[in-house]
Amino acid sequence: MIKAILIFNNHGKPRLIRFYQYFAEDMQQQIIRETFHLVSKRDDNVCNFLEGGSLIGGSDYKLIYRHYATLYFVFCVDSSESELGILDLIQVSCSFVFVETLDKCFENVCELDLIFHMDKVHYILQEVVMGGMVLETNMNEIVAQVEVQNRMEKSEGGLSAAPARAVSAVKNMNLPEIPRNINIGDINIKVPSLSPF
């Protein structure tokens, strides 16, 4: 079972949180802080497993994480999950799941995508992990399902229908400050040499 999936940046700001067991909001934040504290002080060249998160789980639970550019992807899992499998799940080799999926769906994922499209990331994640259990590891399948659902949303006019979008363009112009250029460029995700599945 996966107990939680946390994504936060180098400063510990949450970018996506998904708990598969209920924790009150303040507890959730505490867990994020603790996890960040544990993970951030580790070098990049040490192993990606970590025991000792006291708030979540207990001794049977492990943190498995990867650090990409400005983001940490942390999975809290129990002993029924395969450590390397989850690492693969977070990353590439097995079937290019999580990060790769983001990559494909957003064409080049960067932190900003996550920030502004948290809901979309959630929808993708829902196709990968459900209720704490891995639902699908085949990337093509995941992408296909996500795309169909996005098309459905489009056909319904999306959350903000077309006229509203036009207005939002106007609205942006009327703003005292046009959004600054906040693109921090593409982040190349380096693929560590893990043997492929």
Residues lying near another protein in the complex (CB under 8 A) are found at: 1, 14, 16-18, 20, 22, 24-26, 28-29, 43, 45-51, 80, 82-85, 87-88, 94, 115-116, 118-119, 122-123, 126, 130-138, 141, 145, 148-149, 152-153, 156-161, 163-164, 167-168, 171, 177, 179, 182, 194-197
Q: Of the two residues 119 and 186, which places its CB atom closer to another protein in the complex?
A: 119
Question: Residue 17 or 109: which CB sits closer to another protein?
Answer: 17
Closer by beta carbon to another protein, 55 or else 135: 135
Specify the residue, 108 or 196, whose C-beta has the smaller distance to another protein. 196
CB of 73 to another protein, least distance (A): 15
Q: Please identify, using beta-carbon distances, which residue of 135 and 187 lies nearer to another protein.
A: 135
Q: How far is the CB of 139 from another protein (least distance, A)?
A: 13
Q: Which residues contact 98 (CB under 8 A, 6 or more apart)?
A: 73, 89, 90, 91, 125, 128
Closer to another protein by Cβ: residue 124 or 189: 124
**If DSSP states are collapsed to H, E and C, what string results for 48-90?**
CEECCCCCCCCCCCEEEEEEECCEEEEEEECCCCCHHHHHHHH
Q: How far is the CB of 38 from another protein (least distance, A)?
A: 11
The distance of closest approach from Cβ of residue 51 to another protein in the complex, given in angstroms and rounded to an integer, is 7
Q: How far is the CB of 41 from another protein (least distance, A)?
A: 10
Minimum distance between the CB of residue 181 and another protein, rounded to whole angstroms?
13
Residue 122 C-beta-side C-alpha neighbours within 13 Å: 11
CA–CA separation, 192 vs 148, rounded Å? 31
Q: Per the structure block, which two tokens stand in for 4? A: 């939680």
CA distances to 29, 70, 93, 103, 137 from 186, rounded to whole Å, are 29, 11, 21, 11, 26
Taking Cα atoms as reference points, which of 181, 191, 7, 197 lies closest to residue 91? 191
Q: Is 174 helix (H, G, I), strand (E, B) or coil?
A: helix
